[in-house]
Structures are given as structure tokens and as C-alpha cells.
Amino acid sequence: MTDLRTVPLLVFGPYNEDGLAGLREVFDVRQLERRDIALLPEGERPVIRALALGGHLPNEAMDLLPNLEIIGHFGVGYDGVDAAHAASRGIAVTNTPDVLTDEVADTALALVLMTVRDLVRAENHARSGEWERSGPFPLTPLSLRGRRLGIMGLGRIGLAIAQRAESFGLAIEYHNRTRRSDVDYGYHASLRELAEAVDILLVAAPGGAGTERAVNAEVLRALGPKGVFINIGRGSTVDEPALIEALQNGTIAAAGLDVFADEPRIPDPLRALQNVVLLPHVASASRDTRIAMGNLVTENLTRWFLGETLASPVPESENAGLVRRSDRAR
């Protein structure tokens, strides 16, 4: 049996502290605090057999690790890792689905409420003493009553959001690449058609070339002047300049954003707007959930080197037959 403490594992860049502690209990961990493979001495690169990270891994960095077998991605969205390129080299990739679904769905509904009811400014009205000085906070023009929620990306997280939203009385419609056969929600073959049909458009889709700037000026115009846009997916799914313009000129009413195109940098015009709620990418950011994510990364890496089936390989790895270590030699 493989002694996992002898397996050299590279942590590529900043990593959750609880997750890092879990990896150190099992593997021979080397860490680069910045995502720069040049910081790893050339003599150590052939030694690395596993890699853990949360974020972007350039193919050039991957290719400088000739004996890399598996990449454990800390997060459900793995668009920062070219899993197809990894599969072409016989490298398995895993992610952390399911364990963060409920936390993200809870945050999504909170963001909807904060945005529709303008609760951030209402809280500031109370905290600042403005309530006492100037009287009640103005009535909010928007409400959830009688509204339709459109979800772009009805996967695990999107479905969990839809189920929660139903309890608020919201009617649900969605857009996916393909229609789901296990739900009765209204399906729209295009994102523009979905935006036109709903009052709140919520993105729960992954990043990548297939969704790059999918929410564009045309989609925002279709959402309309009473429409609300919510994004807890990826900042890359939105044409951010078009969104800013739509918020500035009243093309849409408001937006609630947990993700941005160039995190952690948020454009000044977006930060200056009063009709937008901004969160610093915290949808899954509870310690309990992050511990569960770290545990799943460790479990996948452990299973690989013990010759067991991976708990959560990404589709590219599954399609390449890379679900256990013995498959790699075939």
C-alpha cells in the first residue's frame, strides 16, 4: 500500500487554511504562496505527483510538472483549470460539488432579498441615525410579490436556488444548454428569451468559453427597466461594461453581485452606483462549508493514490476514463 506521507503534493498559490492543514496530515506538502511555478525549483518539479489549488492553473505551469497525476480543485467551478488539456496528459482533475450547494443557494436568496428590497441602504439608514433625523426609509419600488425568477444554469446549485425561491412564492423559469426532464419549470432555449419572460435574472452558471459575456446588452434590455440581475456564478458570464451602463441609464432597475470580471478589483463606476449590492465573492464562504470543500479535495487525492475510484472527477476526466489511478496506465 502506498504511504501517502511520501507522496509529494504541491499547493499552488493561496489555499484555505483548514484545507491546507488537512492536506499536511496526509501528504508531503510543498506550498507556493503565489501562483508562479517559477518559485518551485526546477529540481523539485519532476517530484510533484499531485497538485491542489483554488483558482487558475496555467497550462504552462501544468506542463512543467512532468510526473503530475492529479489536480484537486478547491471549488465547484474549475474554469481556471484546462481539464481537457490535463486529460490529454493523463492527469485527472477533481472539484468540490454538492458540499457547497446549500451555502451558495442560501446566499443567492439573501442577495435577491437584499437587492430587491434595498436592504443594504435601509440598514445604513438605521445605523447612521438617519431614521431618527429624517424619518422612515423610503418605500422600495420593487417587491418579490408576483415575480418570476429566471435562472441561467439549472445545475445542482441552480436547482437548490429554485427550490428555495418557490417557498417565497416565486415562479421559476430557466435556461440551460439542454432542457431538464426532471423539473416542470418553464424552459427557454435562449438567454434573451428567458430575460424577456422574467423579472429577476439570476446567473448560477459556470465560467468558460461557453458562457463568456453571455449576459450582454441585448439580454439586459430584454430584462427591462423593472428587472433585477443577480450573479452568484462567475463574473466572466457578464459583459461588465454593459451591465454598468444598464444600471446607470435605467435599462434595468438593480443588480446584486457576488462575483466580478477581475476579482478582487471592482470598477469604480460599479462601486459608485446606489442600485447595486456588492458582495466580495462570499457565497460559499462559511468555515463549515470551506472545511467540507477541503475535506473533499483531500478525499479525492487520497482515493487516487490508494487506487480507489475518485469521489468527484470533473466530466473531462470521466470522459477520458481517468477516475482511478489504474486507468492512467491504460
11 shares its domain with 154:
no
Give catalytic residue positions. 234, 263, 281
Half-sphere exposure of 99 toward its Cβ, with a 13 Å CA cutoff?
A: 21
Q: Which of 261, 278, 295 is the C-terminal boundary of a domain?
A: 278
Q: What is the CATH number of the domain that holds 113?
A: 3.40.50.720
Provide the pLDDT confidence category of residue 327 given band limits of 50, 70 and 90. confident
CA distances from 212 to 176, 234, 278 (A): 14, 9, 21
**Closest of 178, 176, 230, 168 to residue 199, by C-alpha:** 230
What pLDDT does residue 96 have? 97
Same domain, 105 and 236: yes
Q: What is the pLDDT of residues 66-85, one digit of tens each?
A: 999 999 999 999 999 999 99
Over residues 244-289, the pLDDT tens digits come to: 999 999 999 999 999 999 999 999 999 999 999 999 999 999 999 9
Same domain, 210 and 145: yes
Query: What pLDDT was estimated at residue 326?
Result: 87
Q: Are residues 124 and 260 in the same domain?
A: yes
Same-domain status, 249 and 116: yes
The per-residue pLDDT for 140 is 96
What is residue 308's DSSP assignment? P
Per-residue model confidence as pLDDT tens digits over 201-259: 999 999 988 999 999 999 999 999 999 999 999 999 999 999 999 999 999 999 999 99
The domain total for the chain is 2
Q: Over 80: is that where the pLDDT of 1 sits?
A: no
Q: What is the mean pLDDT of the chain?
A: 96
Residue 295 has pLDDT above 90, yes or no: yes
Supply the DSSP symbol for 296: H
pLDDT given at position 9: 98
Question: Is 80 exceeded by the pLDDT of residue 98?
Answer: yes
Q: Which residues contact 59 (CB under 8 A, 6 or more apart)?
A: 82, 85
Q: What local confidence, expressed as pLDDT, does residue 329 receive?
A: 58
Task: Identify the bridge partners of residue 257 per DSSP, sorted by sequence position.
Answer: 231, 278
pLDDT at 23 over 70: yes
Query: Which run of H or of E encompasses 105?
Result: helix 101-116
Tell me: do 189 and 92 sit in the same domain: no
User: In the chain, pLDDT over 70 holds for what percent of residues?
Assistant: 99
**What are the residues facing 29 on neighbouring strands?**
9
Q: Alpha helices, DSSP H only, in 135-226? A: 156-167, 191-197, 217-223
Mean pLDDT of 308-329: 93
Q: Rounded to two decimals, what is the model's pTM?
A: 0.93
**Secondary structure class of 20 (helix, strand, coil):** helix
Parent domain of 10: 4-98+287-329
